[in-house]
Amino acid sequence: MTEVTDVAEATDVIVAAGVHKRYGEKRALDGFDLTVARGTVHGLLGPNGAGKTTAVRVLTTLLRPDEGQVRVAGLDVRTEGRGVRRRIGLLGQHAALDEDLSGRQNLEMFGRLHHLGARRAGERADTLLERFGLLDTGRKPVKQYSGGMRRRLDLAASLITGPAVLFLDEPTTGLDPRGRAEVWSAVRSLVGGGTTVLLTTQYLEEADQLADRISVVDGGRVIAGGTADELKARTGGDRIDVVLRDADRLADGARALARTAGTYAVSTDVDRRLISAPVTDRMAALTETVRALHEEGIEAEDMALRRPTLDEVFLRLTGGDSTQGHDQRHEKQQEQQAEQQEQRQEREVRA
């Protein structure tokens, strides 16, 4: 098992080594390892039931690991949980805002709950409203906010104490493209200010856009990691995409592309009239494909060379079907039961 070093003296703000968490016979985490560098966005990706939620709950002290070592912001989550909670922020999938209060009142309320005092809470609310572009709407009720504005306000609330580490659990779920872009801009500004972000997301484009590094989780452990470009390179480099004019010639086109690309791994999308294959020699593959299609009398509407998408990387690494054999709701129910049991045990010990 990898040994955890003193994070306070290292560049890694989050370090997990050999972490295990079980729910009965189910291994939610099975040797989970993770390092997150200071001042970066680290994406955590995986299919439903892969262990992402359990990992975040362990890192944020909401669950105790059965085995392994975890340090966040230089502190051990087992023995220094209170200190960890003072140094982190957590933004869940659903906004924790009072609809009838204004944006500023919501932030002031969170500040008071964190014992900032009335004056300090008000000052902090104004600072965050300005930082997230909400100063002009800060006195309006939250129920009048758009989805993107609400999410930015929720993000501001998670930063009320100025945490060193921020955990974002699918922060743009349900937002339209404009709302997602607003949140992405806010996250980038946070990292520019020195905050470290751990991001779990169901939008692979989001990880591609925001994450400095990505860890792919499956079966309770990290199965691959690196930058988006490094992960894409693992799937075989470039691909050639060809859109045919006649959908009836897709099978013929796929056979021609297989010959020129030198592979049987040709994918076909009937609805888009698209054939696609990995290639090693970009320009030679393009030239030979044009010639082969012409010889077969197959007309192409469009042809392009591209890098693989993060979606393709994800499906390749996790075995294709991102939901097969998993039950996320069951996992969450088990987590909640385990958390309640641990809280009861803690109360008994304190009593």
Which pLDDT score, from 0 to 100, does residue 322 have? 38
Which pLDDT score, from 0 to 100, does residue 294 have? 93
Task: Give the tokens for residue 196.
Answer: 């470290």
Looking at the domain that runs over 7-232, which CATH code has it been given? Answer: 3.40.50.300
Task: Using alpha carbons, select from 50, 13, 14, 44 the residue that is nearest to residue 30.
Answer: 50
Q: Nearest 10 degrees: CA dihedral of 93, 98, 104, 105?
A: -140
Which pLDDT score, from 0 to 100, does residue 53 have? 87
Task: Give the tokens for residue 117.
Answer: 């005092």
Instruction: Show pLDDT as tens, one digit a residue, over the chain (351 residues).
Output: 444 444 344 588 999 999 999 988 889 999 999 999 999 999 998 887 888 889 999 999 999 999 999 999 999 999 999 999 989 988 876 667 888 999 999 999 988 988 888 999 999 999 889 888 888 888 899 999 988 888 889 888 888 888 889 998 888 877 778 778 888 888 888 888 888 999 988 777 888 889 999 999 988 999 989 988 888 777 666 888 999 999 999 999 999 999 888 877 788 999 999 998 888 777 888 899 999 999 999 999 999 888 777 777 777 777 654 333 334 444 445 555 555 554 454 444 334
Task: Using alpha carbons, select from 272, 275, 267 the residue that is nearest to residue 250.
Answer: 275
Task: Give the tokens for residue 14.
Answer: 């989050």
Q: Contact at 8 Å (CB) between 258 and 292?
A: no
Alpha helices for 132-249 (secondary structure H): 147-158, 177-192, 204-210, 228-233
Convert 290-311 to b/e letters by CB count within 10 Å (16 or more is b): eebbeeeebebeeeeeeebbbe
User: pLDDT tens digits, residue range 195-215?
Assistant: 899 998 877 788 888 999 999
Which pLDDT score, from 0 to 100, does residue 235 have? 63
Which pLDDT score, from 0 to 100, does residue 188 have? 87
Counting other chains too, the contacts that 214-217 makes at CB distance below 8 Å and 24 or more residues apart are: 214/42, 214/43, 214/44, 214/45, 214/310, 215/34, 215/42, 215/43, 215/44, 215/45, 216/45, 216/46, 216/313, 216/314, 216/317, 216/318, 217/32, 217/44, 217/45, 217/46, 217/50, 217/51, 217/52, 217/55
Which pLDDT score, from 0 to 100, does residue 341 have? 52
Question: Domain extents for the chain?
Answer: 7-232, 238-306
Task: Using alpha carbons, select from 280, 279, 271, 272 the residue that is nearest to residue 301.
Answer: 272
pTM value > 0.85: no
Which pLDDT score, from 0 to 100, does residue 221 have? 93
**Cα(209)–Cα(211) distance, integer angstroms:** 6
Fold of 238-306: Alpha-Beta Plaits (3.30.70)
Which pLDDT score, from 0 to 100, does residue 72 have? 95
Q: Write phi, then psi, for 249 (nearest 5 degrees).
A: -100, 15
Which pLDDT score, from 0 to 100, does residue 92 have? 73
CB atoms within 10 A of CB 190: 22
Q: Nearest 10 degrees: CA dihedral of 278, 283, 289, 292?
A: -140
Q: Which amino acid is at 56?
A: V
**Cα(114)–Cα(88) distance, integer angstroms:** 13
